[in-house]
Structures are given as structure tokens and as C-alpha cells.
Chains A and B, each alone.
Chain A
Amino acid sequence: MAFLLDLLIRFGIDLALVLLLGAWGRFGSGFIMIGVFSVEWLYPIVFELRKGGATPGKRALGLRVVMDTGLPVTPAASFIRNLLRVADFLPLAYGIGIVSLLLNRECKRLGDLAAGTLVVHARPVVLHDAPPVATPLAPGRPLHAREQAAILSWAGRAKRLTPARFEELARLAAPALPPESTPGRPRDLTAQLLGVAQWLMGRRP
């Protein structure tokens, strides 16, 4: 998709060049060919080396190119991944590139494998929020670190899960809840576990 967008943009630039410089006769056609060369070979390199690390098409879809280490892409790596496009394109319509994408876990084409680069989503996906407000409630027994982490990450997903599913998950943690005789214990299971989450966060009643 990003590739198609870029193709369109490049085609647009080529067309604009032809329209603008075409009137200049052979002098202009020389520049048109230099322009076509730049758009064909240098366009992705130049854009990847700028701050955004992505061609306009990739940027529009929230993608960017980074090194395997997470660093911004280096000039050498950008040259490699974009010149090896030639090999990825073979035998036709990115045949080798697509096979390569399917064969490795990180979905890299040959150029990315050789350059040690990675195409990633630029913005991280936020799945967890802060646990919602609740009256802190001491758990029924001391909890392991893993149990604590599980309860906290359950609470962090309060906004993203349906109430029914949220409640269902809370039931799994029922053994950690305080006994019924505890003063101030809410009736609702979800509310109880949210209280425990707040307790684990460090809030006290």
C-alpha cells in the first residue's frame, strides 16, 4: 500500500517534470532524464535519510525504516536496501521479495536482510492505561510478583475490554481477594479486584 502511494507520487513528480521541462526542448529533456533517474533511484534513499526515516507513502501509513538496533537508518544501509530492490523485483512484480517476506519472521525482503534494516510502525500501540480509580483494598494473602503484575495489567485494560470479559477475567483472580468479612469490601467482584490493583499500585485507604 505504501509502495503504491509512493509509486503514484513518483509518477506524479515524473509527470510534473515532463510538463514543466518538456517545453524547453532538448535542454529540458536532459533535465527530465536526470529527474527521472533521481526519482527512480534516489527518491527512497533521500527520504529515508531525513528525520522521518520514511518515504511519503510510508509516512502516510505510519511506517518508517530503522536499523535492526532501532537506530535511524544509516546512508550505507539505505543504499543497500534500495539498490537491492532490483533483485527483489525479479523475476517479476517483486517475486523474490514476496517469497523472502513470507520466509522470515520479521517480514524482510532481501534488501532489508542485507542492510540489517526493519520496516516498523512509527507509533507504539497503547493497550494499557493507568488502572481506573477505586477504593484501595488489601489482598487476602501476600501475592507473588507475577500475580501482582497480572492483576495490574488486567486493571490497565479496563477501558479496552467489554465489562463481561473484564468480569470473567477478574473471576480467575478470586483466590487473591480478601475474605468476605473484610470491612468496606464492595459486593462486585470487578470493583474488589480494582481495589486490590490500587493497593498494589501503592495507594492505601
Chain B
Amino acid sequence: MTPVRFEADHAATWDEFDAQLKLARQGKAVDGALLAARYRRVCENLALARSRDYPMHLVARLEALAQEAHELIYRRQDYGLRRLGTLLRHELPCAVRGQGRYVLWALALFGLPLLLSYLLAHHGPDFALRLMDAAQLRRYESMYADGKNALGRVREADGDWQMFGFYILNNVGIGFRCFGAGILAGVGSALVMVYNGLAIGAVAGHLTRVGLGHNFWPFVVTHSAFELTGIVLAGAAGLRIGVGWLAPGRMTRLDALRNAALAAVPLVYAAFFLLLVAAAFEAFWSSAAWIAPSVKYGVAALCWALVLGWLLLLGRGGSHAR
């Protein structure tokens, strides 16, 4: 068949297809079955045109049509609340358990320095001063001091909103950076984890040692359920991606990197979600001084149970048909 004949036979279909694609691009309703049938026909034409060395302008036109339709047909469309629901209820906990090894490593990298520096700072004043300068420590002391200016006073509502914004900008940013730095062989994430563990432990130990624990612990105990877990998960995601290409197994490093990144993303989603919740708690609940510490401890226990239950129990059994 000659190119002229080929074009004469099929040009009508191509024109109709083009028009239909234009409509679909504008978001108007089109006959899906017809579109799919025409798409298959155009792909077939493209394959023929290529194998028969038809002139370039014909091949180029068919390529453009096929590409445009390809994008339209295979576009992801399930961005609904339903999708978010399955993600939260099922996929994220499963993914976190699936990467359990990395989560444990991240937990160790974060938890051990935290514990160590807590004990050391609690034991004597030297350690905290080695890690931070005295002005910083004094600022922390005044934040949790008894009295009007300290955190945990009865704040105006607008102050809560301000802190909410700050926690989101700051904490979620730290979480994201912790993940992003992981691609540098996991070293970046590990550093962030160890450093944050040391700093948090030192502050907690120091404040407890100087006798401000009764202000500090009720403040942090609730949102730490979400925040510390979130940081650990972000760190685990970073480690996953770094170790992924360091130890690629039987894949090429590039493929290993891609797989690792894909496996790490649910952990980032989970960390993002947890850090958002943490920011809300930290801004609106932790700072509410009118709530008795015993209530806060009770709620905190519930929150820790919720977070751990979510990650350990939810989504087990019954693989949902997706």
C-alpha cells in the first residue's frame, strides 16, 4: 500500500480522533469506548507506518496523536477521599511494617542517642553544656519555667494558630529534609536522626534535672507520640533510599534506587501525616495550661496506643481488592 493510499484510507479516523481528544482535554464528556477503539486503531496505524518506512510527516503525526491519547487514557484519576481512606487505613501501616527493618534501624539511630543523652544530661550539668551553649539552655529553661511568660500559659487563640503554622513549617520541613538527605547513602538521614536524638534527650534530661519536669513532660508527652514516630518514619524512609542503592543486590544501582524510592514513599506519607497531627496537638492541646497534667498523661497514653496500634495492627489480613 502506498503512503497516499494509506493516508486517504485512515485520515478521516485520525481527524475524528484528534477532535475527540481536543474535547476530552477540555474536560468535556466523550464516548470512552469509541476513544479507546480509535486509540487502538491509531497505534496499529503507527506500527504499520513505522515498519513500512512511510514518510516522516505521517509517522510524526501518528506519534503525536498516540502520545496525546496515551497520556489522557492512563492519567491517574482516583484522588478522592476514598483513596485517602484506603491509604491511611490499609496501605500506610502495611508499608511501614513491610519496611520494619529500616524502621527499627531508624528507631535505634534516634532512640539510643536520645536515651543516652537524657541519662547523661540528667546525671550532671556538664553534658548538656557540651552539646549546646548556655544561652540556648537558659532559653529552654525560661520557656518551661513557672510563671506567666512560659510556654504552657493560657494563650490567646491567635497565638495557637501562629504556633501551628510555625510547627508545620519547621517540623514537617525537618521530616522532609530528613528523607531527602537519605539519598546520600543514608548518611544524611542518620546524621539528622542522631543529632535530633541527642538534642531532644539533652534538653529533656537537663530540664528534668533542674526541676522543671512538671512543666516539660505534660507539654511534650502528647504530641511526641506523633512527632517522634513521624521523625523515625522519615528517617527510615531516608535510610531505605540510601541503603537501596548502596546494596543493590541483583539489580543495577539505578533500578535499585528507583525501587527503594518507591518503597520509601509510603513512609514519607505516613511521616507527613503524623507530623501534621503532631503540629495540631502541639499548638492547640499541649499548650493548654488549664488542662490538668493527669488528663494530659491519660490522653497521651491513648495517643501513643493509637499511633502504635495504627502502625502495628491496622490493615492486617484481607488484602483489599484495589
A25 in contact (CB, < 8 A): yes
User: Given contacts A27-B161, A33-B169, A80-B261, is CB(A72)–CB(B56) below 8 Å?
Assistant: no
Asked whether A114 lies within 8 Å of B184 as measured between CB atoms, the reply is no
CB contact between A114 and one of B1, B172, B183 (< 8 Å): that residue: B183
Chain A residue contacts of B3, Cβ below 8 A: 152, 200-202
User: Do A130 and B55 touch across chains, with their CB atoms under 8 A apart?
Assistant: yes
**Interface code B1-45, partner A: CB below 8 Å = 1, 0 otherwise?**
111110000000000000000000100000000000000000000
Cβ B55 vs Cβ A201 within 8 A: yes
Interface size on A, residues (CB 8 A): 54
Q: Report if A135 contacts B (CB, 8 A).
A: no
Assess whether B56 is in contact with A90, with CB atoms less than 8 Å apart.
no
A41 interface hit (Cβ, 8 Å): yes
Tell me the complex Cα distance, A40–B119, Å: 37
| B176 interfacial by beta-carbon distance below 8 Å | yes
- Taking CB atoms, residues of chain B closer than 8 Å to A115 are 258, 261
A116 contacts B by Cβ under 8 Å: yes
Q: Are B258 and A30 in contact (CB under 8 A)?
A: no
A33-B165, A113-B257 given; A202·B188 CB < 8 A:
no
B45 CB to nearest A CB, Å? 16
Residues of A within 8 A of B133 (CB): none
Q: Does B48 contact A (CB under 8 A)?
A: no
Question: Is A37 a contact partner of B173 (Cβ separation < 8 A)?
Answer: yes
Q: Identify which of residues 144-183 in chain A touch chain B, using a CB-to-CB cut-off of 8 Å.
A: 145-146, 148-149, 152-153, 155-156
B181 at the binding interface (Cβ < 8 Å): yes
Closest Cβ of chain A to B94, distance in Å, is 15
A85 on interface, CB distance cutoff 8 Å: yes
Question: Which chain A positions have C-beta within 8 A of B257?
Answer: 113-114
| Docked complex: A173-204 residues within 8 A CB-CB of B | 200-203
Q: Of B3, B157, B173, which is in contact with the most chain A CB atoms at under 10 Å from its CB?
A: B3
Does any Cβ of B come within 8 Å of A205's Cβ? no
- Which of B55, B169, B176 contacts A131 (CB under 8 A)? B55
Of A41, A71, A86, A148, the residue contacting B53 (CB under 8 A) is A148
Of B57, B158, B257, which is in contact with the most chain A CB atoms at under 10 Å from its CB?
A: B57
> Given known contacts A71-B70, A79-B265, A202-B5, is B183 in contact with A84 (CB within 8 Å)?
yes
Closest residue of A by beta carbon distance from B244:
A114
**Which residues of B sit under 8 angstroms from A153, Cβ to Cβ?**
55-56
Option from A66, A114, A148 in Cβ contact (under 8 Å) with B258 = A114
Please give 10 more A-B residue pairs, beta carbons under 8 A apart, in addition to A72-B71, A202-B2. A29-B165, A34-B164, A34-B165, A40-B169, A75-B79, A79-B269, A80-B264, A124-B63, A149-B53, A202-B1
Q: Can you list 19 residue pairs at the A/B interface with Cβ under 8 Å?
A: A25-B158, A27-B162, A30-B161, A30-B162, A33-B162, A33-B169, A40-B173, A71-B70, A71-B71, A72-B76, A80-B261, A84-B183, A85-B180, A126-B57, A128-B56, A128-B60, A155-B55, A201-B3, A202-B3
Interface residues of B (CB under 8 A from A): 1-5, 25, 53-57, 60, 63-64, 67, 70-71, 74-76, 79, 156-166, 168-169, 172-173, 176-177, 179-184, 188, 241, 254, 257-258, 260-262, 264-265, 268-269
Q: Which residues of A contact B (CB under 8 A)?
A: 25-27, 29-34, 36-37, 40-41, 49, 51, 66, 70-72, 74-76, 79-80, 83-87, 90, 110, 113-116, 124, 126-131, 145-146, 148-149, 152-153, 155-156, 200-203
